[in-house]
Amino acid sequence: MPDSVYKVIELVGSSSESWEKAAELAVARAGASLRDLRIAEVVEQDLQIENGKIRAFRTRLKLSFRYNED
């Protein structure tokens, strides 16, 4: 592997369906503006509850991508 540098950001995806869908949405949104996505690490999962029912699944991710200065 050649020398390289990666930047890590933290994102929170939200979905009314599942934690997996929340993660997929976060990665897809990041991929629309960032190049060379590498690794997504699930840091935390939680639920948004309203009136005793699950309103949203939330997944917090650390996402790395290749850092280019040009």
Query: Given the DSSP bridges, would you call strands 6-15 and 37-50 parallel, antiparallel or unpaired?
Result: unpaired
- Spatial distance between the Cα atoms of 52 and 70, rounded to a whole number of angstroms: 50
The answer to the question of residue 49 being in a domain is yes
The answer to the question of residue 27 being in a domain is yes
Question: What's this model's pTM, rounded to 2 decimal places?
Answer: 0.85
Domain that holds residue 14: 6-66
- Spatial distance between the Cα atoms of 60 and 10, rounded to a whole number of angstroms: 7
The answer to the question of residue 32 being in a domain is yes
The residues with which 11 forms a beta bridge, in sequence order, are 61
Residue-wise pLDDT tens digits, 5-45: 899 999 999 999 999 999 999 999 999 999 899 999 999 99
Per-residue pLDDT at 1 exceeds 60: no
The answer to the question of residue 1 being in a domain is no
Q: The domain that contains 27 carries what CATH number?
A: 3.30.1660.10
The answer to the question of residue 45 being in a domain is yes
Tally of domains in the chain: 1
The answer to the question of residue 30 being in a domain is yes
Q: What is the DSSP letter of 27?
A: H
What pLDDT sits at residue 69? 66
> Backbone dihedral region of 32: left (phi > 0), alpha (psi from -120 to 50 degrees) or beta?
alpha
